[in-house]
Structures are given as C-alpha cells and as structure tokens.
Amino acid sequence: MTPNSQTLFPHLPERLSGLGTLAENLWWSWRPRARMLFKMLDRQAWKDSGHNPDKMLRDLPVEVLAAATHNDEYLWHYDVVMTLFQTYLTRRDTSLIGGPLASGTVAAAYFSAEWGLHRSLPFYAGGLGFLAGDFLKECSDLNIPVAAVGFMYPEGYLFQRMREDGWQENVEDPVEREAAPISRVMTPEGRQFVFEIPLMRPSIFVAVWKIAVGVNTLYLMDTDIEQNDPWNRKITARLYSGHLEQRLRQEIVLGIGGAEMLQQLGIRYRLIHLNEGHAAFALLERIRDGLQEGLSFEAAREAVRKTTVFTTHTPVPAGHDVFPYDLMEKYFHPYWADLGLDRDRFFKLGGHPRKAPDGFNMTVLALNLSDHNNAVSQRHGEVSREMWRDLWPGKALGEIPIGSITNGVHVRTWLEPKMKLLFDRYLGSGWIDDHDNPAIWQLVEKIPDQELWQTHYWLKIKLIDAIRERCRRRWVENRTSPSILLSGGAMLDPSVLTIGFARRFATYKRADLILHDLSRLKRMLNDRWRPIQIIFAGKAHPSDDPGKRILQKVFNICRDPEIGGRIAFVEDYGEQIAQYLVHGVDIWLNNPLPPMEASGTSGMKAALNGVPQLSILDGWWIEGYNGKNGWAISAANPNGENRDAQDADALYQILETEAIPLYYRMSDDGIPHEWVRVMKETIRSNAVRFSARRMVKEYLRNYYTKILASL
Ligand SMILES: *Cc1c(COP(=O)(O)O)cnc(C)c1O
C-alpha cells in the first residue's frame, strides 16, 4: 500500500536505491553508520536538512548522487550498511514472545498521544513521548512485532522563542509533511486511505501516514483533509489542545479511530497497550467488537480486560483527563446504546467513586477495563496505588492491582557515538547487542581515566560550541541585543564545572530552586578558581502561565551582570538540544517537588554517557542512587515548613562541600581522577538498569508473554 522509494526519490541512481528505503525507516537514526551514509553524501546538505534524510535526498542535486556511485569508499560503506539493514529486518528469532505469530498479526497495538522519535518529527511534548519512542525502537531491536498508533500533528509542537522581557512566545512551525520522513498510507487503487470514525455525528474522517521504525510501523492519524469541516480539520492540528471539547475529540480519534484504523488496515493484535489514559476509548471499541461477535457486555469486557496493558504516567492530578458529562453525552449518546448500556452504566465506567461528579475520568476508564496496570517507577507505584485505591474498595493498599515497571532509555539512541566507540574498545565487541547483561558493565573499570575524561571533555566542548554558534548566528541575523547573547550562553566556558537542567517548565519541577539564595549562588558562579556554570533549557506548556513565570525568572537572571554570563538559557528544547546536553554537561540536576516526578528519563540519558546526577530522591533516582554514583538532595525535615528553602540549602551544601571540590581536584596529569571514578560508577550502576531493554523485557515478562500464552 505504499509508494516505493523509486517514486519517492525518482532521481536516485539504481546503484543507491537502498538509500530511499533507508530514509523511510527510522532505523538509520539510531545506527551511527547509517547516519554517516547520508552525512558522507554532503555534510552541509545533511545539516541544512535538519538531519532529515528524506528531505535531503529530495533536495540533493543529481550530480552529487551520481558522484557517489563512482566513489568506491562510499559504495563500500553503502553495501555494509545495506547488509546490516537487511539482516536486521529479516531476523527470525521470536523466542521472547514465545514463538512466531500468524501473518498479519502483531503482539501488541501500542497507543500513545505523543511520539518522541527524532528531531524531524515534532510529535512530542516531553517525557511521555520519548518513552513511547524508545519503547518502540527497543521492541524493534528485540524483534517484537508492534503496531504503533499516534497522531500526525501538522502544526507540530510550538517553537519556543524568548521575548526580550523573558516571556515565552510560541511560534508556529508547521511540519512540512512531504519532507518529513513519513509517507501516506494508500489504497490498492493508489488513492490516499481515508476512514470514518464509527458512530460520530457529524462524521469525522481520518487519513493515515506511516513511518517504519525498524521492524515495526507507527501509524499517524490526520484529520486535516478536505472531507472534514474546518473544526474537524483542526482536531489533530496540535498536541494536547487546550480546548476541552477539542481535546475530547482528539481522544475519540486516538482511541476509537485508532482501533478502527487497525481493523480497516487488517492488522490484528493480541493485546493492546495504552501509554497513558488518553487512548482509553480504544477499549470501548474493542468491547463493541466483542458484542458484534455475539458476546455479552460482561464477557466482552472480561476479554478486553485480560488483554489490556495500561501504563499510568503521572501523580499530578491535572495530568489525568476528566471530561464533563454533558460533553460526553454529546458525543457518546449513540455510542453507549451500541455497547448495550444506558447512560448511567456507561458513565460509571469512567466515574471516580469519590469524585464522580467531576466528570468522566480517562484513567478510571482505563483502570476499570484493564487487568494489567503499571506505574513507571517503584515510588510512583506506591503513589498510584494510594491515588486510585478507591476504585478497589475493601482491598488493602498492597493489593491494589497497579504494579510498577521503571522507565528506561534506548541505549543506541542516547549513547553518544564517540562514547560508544570508547565502550566498544573496553566492554568487548558485541557488547551493545548484549547490553542488558550486567556483567558487561563491570568492565567500565577497565576504561583508562584519561580516555573517559578526554571523551567527556570533547563532548562538553561540542555542547558549548553548539550553544555559542547559536548565539553567533543570532548576532549575525541582527535581531538581538548583547544581553540576549549573554543569556543565550555566549560566555560559557568549557573548563568550568557545568550543571545542566533541561525539562518541561512545569511548576512542580522547580527550575528556579537553585536560584533560591542568589547571593550564595553568585559566590559559587563567580569563584575565581573553582567556578560553576548552569545551562537551562525547557518549554512551558502554552497555557501554563505559572510555568512561564518561572521561565521568565530564570531567563531574566541569566542577564544579570553579576551572574557573569555563567547561567545560560538555550531556546527551544527538543531532541537535538537534549542530545547535546545529556552528552556534554558535568552534572545533571533534577529537583522536583516529591512525589510528583513519576520517573524522569533525561537523567538516565545523562547517566548512560557518564554524567552523574544531582537529584532529589524521587522517581527513578530512588532506585538509581547508591551513594557513589552522584548525589541525593534530601531536606533535613521534608514535611516541615519551607520545603523549597530546605531543599535549596541541601543542594548548595552538596555543591559547596562535595561536588565542586571533587571536580577541581586535578592530579598533575590534569585529570580529576576521583571525579572520573564517580562518572564510571554512574555508568556501571545506572546504564543497564535504566535501559529500555531492561524495561521492555520487564513488560514482556510481567504482562505480554502471560497474555500471549493465555490466548
Ligand atoms: C528525555 C526527554 C524528556 C523527558 O525528560 P524528563 O527528565 O523525563 O523530564 C523531555 N524532552 C526531551 C527533548 C527529552 O529528550
């Protein structure tokens, strides 16, 4: 049903036709060798395309491609990569899911409202999206067949531009659909495949795009097509509409539309996995299918519960969608009759026992219709069981059926290629294919301090160069004042101990905690011999004004001359900046208000690259911290008054008495050996435990294989 790469890239020479197939499969993005293949064609064009081979191949002059067909070195690389790619796609081992599935059947349908896969696909807001992306990539690496469902957001997420006064502006940066590495799903007659959402009036029509992610496919639904009226066209315009009714309509498309789409495409799946409650309407659609096969409502519901996995992601109440009943009635009035339910019974599916008057709760719906529920860290499991215990009256807290599987990150995506080369040298060849074997990581001790330090230092320079280059470009474009350059990081210095803080600017993340006592902080920033510097990045949600105010405070402090240019704010945090930061800073800072951080994943990315954490004991760090691999910020009296002041004091103390002295204690060879020991311990103890491989295997062991075996 797809146009082949010959029609997508008509000027690609026959000898290099595989480049077209490669460009259409994101596998290239996590294989440095495959990335090189595009980069080698034309470095500048690669950069200009935003590392998007699809766009690059379209724009590249025929002569450049023709020249490559006469370059023996290039052809040698090409053949190696194409062989690796073919081998990868045709692996047969399915032992992890207990044997092969029937053709046209996948193990799981994985639904997520956001997908963080690559900088050229701006279909994410934050951690939830990257978790989905890393999960899908790892499933591919483990040869687990998954059909992934999400949205094509033509408006993307918003580009962040800081005004002179430090207020965040949201600039629309529409996705060029034809130039993104995605393609339309077509009918056998060569028309675009379009389907209609069942039982919705007026009708909503959906077109579908797809992208290959290794052996798997992500299907992206798009309502911005002619068949729809203007309001319907806007349903999938952008991530998380702030408009409640439009948001409900998004979730109808994601859940009901997603299930309908898979059915019409003939994709069968053995279980359904919901990444957060946004897609929970899909479970209603599955019940409706059961009824159509002749089951009673109860029997159909049981069948759905047994084959559903639901992952909840946040203890923040606003993170759980609740829709008013009148709005629900407007859209589901015809639908509940099709389920054989009346209004009351239908609303009960999403009614919180104590807070039912609030409306229809998507997390409650998911928990009611799934037997396999999990939180995303051990602590988040405890918090979630407490949070939702009312749904199981009479059960003791420990028996509430919400387990936990701690998040992990995709190693091939987040490990910097130079760091990988270093690991290749000392962890044994083939380590990466076996990277969830803890024994491998003991070999980190074998890496000479000097090599680890130099690699890290090189990455820090690369980070600071990239930030300064952004400043320089702004200066050249002449749309900025010197103070903006200062806050953009023009004065950053690679020899200074560098702290990174990058994440969404939600208030509970307390980005401004380190600014709590400015005079104490200034002493550290401006210390003549042992200074520190801080790099901030992150966006506030467009409708989160308190978050924007924190951002404004941070941004304005960057410009205070007394800060000496040692605090920088990097605009438009996204996948690319995240890569630079988690590879190149010296310390990764995280100080949310516990227990609001369900897991956190950016710190795991940093740890993989040898960057130790300085973090509140919350989320994953409760499991990750061992006393030798970084620092735990803990308030003396966490339940007392003034939590922020206490946490800030604890943070300053760690910096003043431990981290700064350790970092600057260089031996005669110019290497801070004790610091490097912390870096090694960070990699040794955190890399394997917080990998997506460990995570996916836990999902397999706890849920997937049990469900598959029971069918
Ligand atoms: C990893 C990542 C996140 C999530 O980070 P948290 O620590 O979970 O907040 C958000 N945005 C980007 C761009 C990321 O790469």
What is the per-residue pLDDT across 185-199, written as a single tens digit (0 to 9) for each? 999 999 999 999 988
Task: Summarize pLDDT for 386-404 with one digit per residue, the tens.
Answer: 999 999 999 999 999 999 9
The alpha carbon of 131 and the centre of ligand 1 are apart by a number of angstroms equal to 9
SS3 686: helix
Assess whether pLDDT exceeds 50 at residue 73.
yes
pLDDT at 174: 84
Q: How far from the centroid of its chain's Cα atoms is residue 420's Cα?
A: 21
Q: Say if CB 125 and CB 541 are below 8 A apart.
A: yes
Residues of the chain with CATH 3.40.50.2000: 103-154+183-407, 414-690
Assess whether pLDDT exceeds 70 at residue 537.
yes
Q: Say if CB 565 and CB 587 are below 8 A apart.
A: no
Assess whether pLDDT exceeds 90 at residue 510.
yes
Nearest CA, atom 9, ligand 1: 503
pLDDT at 7: 62
Q: How far apart are the first and last CA of the chain?
A: 30
The minimum-distance atom of ligand 1 relative to the CA of 503 is 9
Nearest CA, atom 1, ligand 1: 602
Assess whether pLDDT exceeds 80 at residue 253.
yes
Q: Say if CB 246 and CB 235 are below 8 A apart.
A: yes
- Assign 562 a pLDDT band (cuts: 50, 70, 90): very high
pLDDT at 3: 47
The minimum-distance atom of ligand 1 relative to the CA of 509 is 9
pTM for the complete prediction? 0.97
Nearest CA, atom 8, ligand 1: 600
pLDDT at 635: 72
Residue recorded with tokens 């999206």? 129
If one compares 665 and 199, the residue with the highest pLDDT of the two is 665
Assess whether pLDDT exceeds 80 at residue 517.
yes
Is the Cα torsion angle 570, 576, 578, 583 positive or negative in sign? negative
DSSP string spanning 383-428? HHHHHTGGGSTT--GGGSSEEE----B-HHHHS-HHHHHHHHHHS-
Residue 223 dihedral angles phi and psi, to the nearest 5°:
-100, 0
**Which of 3.20.20.140, 3.40.50.1100, 3.30.300.30, 3.40.50.2000 would CATH assign to domain 103-154+183-407?**
3.40.50.2000
Q: How far is CA 325 from CA 231, 347, 375, 515, in A?
A: 21, 8, 27, 43
- CA-nearest of 695, 622, 623 to 634 is 622
Top-tier CATH class for 414-690: alpha beta
User: Cβ atoms within 10 A of the Cβ of 126, count?
Assistant: 20
Pocket test for ligand 1, best of 602, 605, 609, 611 (most atoms within 8 A of CB): 602
- CA-nearest of 537, 514, 499, 510 to 659 is 499
What residues contact 559, with CB distance under 8 A and at least 6 apart? 483, 484, 486, 487
Q: Is 32 exposed, middle or buried (0-12, 13-18, 19+ CB in 10 A)?
A: middle
pLDDT at 480: 78
Nearest CA, atom 5, ligand 1: 602
Residues recorded for the chain: 711
The alpha carbon of 602 and the centre of ligand 1 are apart by a number of angstroms equal to 5
Q: Which residues line ligand 1 (CB under 6 A)?
A: 126-127, 130, 503, 573-575, 578, 600-603, 605
The alpha carbon of 536 and the centre of ligand 1 are apart by a number of angstroms equal to 13
Task: Summarize pLDDT for 152-181 with one digit per residue, the tens.
Answer: 998 876 788 888 888 998 888 888 888 888
Task: Summarize pLDDT for 442-499 with one digit per residue, the tens.
Answer: 999 999 999 999 999 999 999 999 999 999 998 898 777 888 899 999 999 999 999 9
Distance CA 443, CA 430 (A): 13
- CA-nearest of 549, 600, 541 to 239 is 541
Pocket test for ligand 1, best of 29, 118, 121, 130 (most atoms within 8 A of CB): 130
Distance CA 538, CA 574 (A): 8
Assess whether pLDDT exceeds 70 at residue 5.
no
Q: How far is CA 182 from CA 47, 152, 547, in A?
A: 19, 10, 33
The alpha carbon of 8 and the centre of ligand 1 are apart by a number of angstroms equal to 33
- The DSSP bridge partners found for residue 272 are 109, 308
Task: Summarize pLDDT for 420-434 with one digit per residue, the tens.
Answer: 999 999 999 899 999
Pocket test for ligand 1, best of 410, 580, 601 (most atoms within 8 A of CB): 601
Return the minimum-mean-pLDDT range out of 48-57, 245-254, 365-374: 48-57
The minimum-distance atom of ligand 1 relative to the CA of 600 is 8
Task: Summarize pLDDT for 676-685 with one digit per residue, the tens.
Answer: 999 999 999 9
Radius of gyration over every alpha carbon of the chain, rounded to an integer in angstroms: 25
Distance CA 652, CA 631 (A): 12
User: Cβ atoms within 10 A of the Cβ of 64, count?
Assistant: 11
Pocket test for ligand 1, best of 503, 597, 609 (most atoms within 8 A of CB): 503
The alpha carbon of 504 and the centre of ligand 1 are apart by a number of angstroms equal to 8
Assess whether pLDDT exceeds 50 at residue 311.
yes
pLDDT at 201: 84
Helix locations, 400-534, DSSP H: 411-414, 417-426, 438-442, 449-477, 482-487, 518-525
Distance CA 252, CA 321 (A): 13
Assess whether pLDDT exceeds 80 at residue 617.
yes
Distance CA 175, CA 195 (A): 23
Nearest CA, atom 11, ligand 1: 126
Q: Say if CB 114 and CB 125 are below 8 A apart.
A: yes
Q: Say if CB 223 and CB 206 are below 8 A apart.
A: yes
H or E stretch covering 631: strand 630-633
Residue recorded with tokens 């990750």? 624
CA-angle at 110, arms to 106 and 113, nearest 5° = 150
Distance CA 78, CA 70 (A): 12
Mean pLDDT of 677-698: 97
Distance CA 685, CA 429 (A): 20
Mean pLDDT of 200-208: 92
pLDDT at 214: 98
Phi-psi region of 265 (alpha: psi -120 to 50; beta: other; left: phi over 0): alpha
**What are the tokens at 39?**
């980069």
Task: Summarize pLDDT for 75-128 with one digit per residue, the tens.
Answer: 999 999 999 999 999 999 999 999 999 999 999 999 999 999 999 898 998 999
Q: Which amino acid is at 318?
A: A
Distance CA 407, CA 134 (A): 10
Q: Say if CB 704 and CB 309 are below 8 A apart.
A: yes
